[in-house]
Chain A
């Protein structure tokens, strides 16, 4: 397996469209890196530049220290898995997995050994004689993975490989890919627009927007310490609640005022707003649904708000309550035994230690 280095990578199309801007990333050996972002953010373009399927306009790409900008895709020692994969309908599972190697004129005994090894890893040994139509969706997906594994590449590149699968199969395959990463000890770069996939699979996540890296971090850090409003909103489901607020500083006390409510920030967070001279300025208050509670304990601690429940969703172990606050649509994730129901007027408490504050103009994080 291998390390990757992307330095100042840019992609500009002939019509002037800048798909990727000054992309810098160091990928360590055996890392599982996720490129995530909304459609058109440049994640697939970056992956294709790594694969050699897209020309790099400027910048430097290295795999294991070697510059790869002008190396042919087949000579980069990579394997790819894409969204619109199709198995060869008249070939057996064995032949499907062997096909790429046959094209490369790999000797038959080596092909046999590699396919059998990949089949063992993917638990496909008993299915090697079957044709694709006799396989389930998950088994077909595993064969597609097998095609990549038999190449024994330095780096695996996967572009939304689960997008065409139904929800249940996606969850199952997600777990299989994670387990495959552990078993192969492979360096994987994986593109998705699905933040749940990103959070569950990645050792590090690269969040992209409009061709620019917004943040590179571990899933936990991205969730707890987003760099800006975009990352805060993109990571997490249901997404973080945002309320426009006014910062009021009185001595060492800092409060955020929104509508008829006001929330006093703890000392560490307050300090950041005082240092940034935010008194009287507009900021954005962010709080995740699970950091809002209707329990008696939480309400006793203060930082309470009131609203009418406009939506109630029972998820089993918990409930999502929808309501509005100072014009913003809000969600709270509370315990399933909550007495609140649709139309009820309820009290909710914000966990002030979990409040995030963002600059309204730059959208950068002031404090997490």
Chain B
């Protein structure tokens, strides 16, 4: 439903150009918006006019026009004052208001449509029919989900709408309280440069929202899909990218479903399997050293340096022997010698599995 303020703005603009006073009524005589002081008698006149056969009527200094939307009269426009060509002006005002109401209704429908597509609420047969009516074609699209945490999404929505080229088939909508969804037409992007372009779009969303909305956001995005029903799949992928990213790639603002790596596999493991694996690696109790900040940052740095002791020691500003001692202490605690590739890999996966278990249980 279009807001009364928007209609009033339009009436004011028409008044400024034509010097005619205008008022818009519902067919029951209820006033929607007006530029003039409304005579109380008009309510009755409007409601009578709405059910009459006449398309246009004159009463005192007022002229009445019906506004039909999809073959039924929805509003009555009243103009006051005489001007040259006042009938033509009245007809043009009707045309203007009808277009405004229809475009708003269509916009609403498009938004409602894309929300239902994202959530998979539409039967395939209905989906194609509605898409055709709304002139939405199948083309390569990617769904970006912008996670705002628990922050209000209004300003984020406003920013994203303005950043996107909505006329060309992008959609910006929201299906929950903490995220904004951008379904982006990517047909203009070459296949070879797709990954870099998508990363660029995601980074641009993050940077602009940080700059303008000043809200910390993370952006997850799915794979490219072409058919309209598949947008739901791209949306699910984007959501999963955010969830997996939160567990395994906490420092990253943009996460692509296509680049989740081993995190995607671990995230889909059932809890029973995770429990079994952790028991196999660490026994019945997980070692306390996993809570030791110094030990964990040592291990992290050691992995970052591809198990190179000298380089890790240099970067940690400790003597090589000190690092070797620390690694031996870690070996004693966890039963794995992370200096060997197999044990390092097992430990790395175990840490990711533990993070996944912790996240699931929370």
Contact = CB atoms under 8 A, between A and B. Distances in A.
Interface stretch (A83-91, A235-243, A249-257, A341-349): A83-91
Given A12-B293, A15-B248, A91-B162, A103 B204 contact: no
B315 A73 contact: no
Interface size class of A (residues with CB under 8 A): 35 or more
B251 A16 contact: no
Given A12-B297, A82-B208, 6 more contacts: A16-B297, A17-B300, A51-B214, A84-B207, A103-B212, A147-B211
Interface of A: 12-19, 45, 51-54, 72-74, 79-86, 88-91, 99-100, 103, 147-148, 210, 212
Contacts of A212: 317
A82 B207 contact: yes
B165 A89 contact: yes
A85 B208 contact: yes
Given A73-B216, A88-B162, A210-B315, A53 B211 contact: no
Contacts of B269: none
Contacts of B351: 15
B212 A84 contact: no
Contact of A83 (B163, B207, B355): B207
Interface size class of B (residues with CB under 8 A): 20 to 34
B210 A82 contact: yes
A342 B9 CA distance: 76
Given A85-B207, A100-B212, A147-B212, A15 B293 contact: no
24 contacts: A12-B293, A12-B297, A14-B250, A15-B248, A16-B299, A16-B300, A18-B297, A18-B300, A51-B210, A53-B216, A73-B216, A74-B214, A74-B215, A79-B211, A80-B214, A82-B211, A84-B207, A99-B159, A99-B162, A100-B211, A103-B155, A103-B158, A103-B159, A103-B212
B18 interface: no
Q: Which of B165, B210, B297, B299 has the most CB of A within 10 A?
A: B210
Nearest to B249: A15
B296 interface: yes
Given A12-B293, A73-B214, A88 B163 contact: yes
A15 B211 contact: no
B293 A84 contact: no
B211 A80 contact: yes
B284 to A, nearest CB: 23
A89 B355 CA distance: 42
A306 to B, nearest CB: 33
A143 to B, nearest CB: 12
A81 B208 CA distance: 9
B213 interface: yes
Contact of A17 (B297, B317, B355): B297
Interface string B290-310: 000100110110000000000
Contacts of A53: 210, 216
A175 to B, nearest CB: 23
A267 to B, nearest CB: 32
B208 A15 contact: no
B56 interface: no
B258 interface: no
Contacts of A210: 315
A85 B206 CA distance: 9
Contacts of A12: 293, 297
A12 B301 CA distance: 13
A148 B251 contact: no
Given A100-B212, A103-B213, A84 B300 contact: no
Contacts of B213: 103
A84 B299 contact: no
A89 B162 CA distance: 8
Given A13-B250, A103-B213, A86 B208 contact: yes
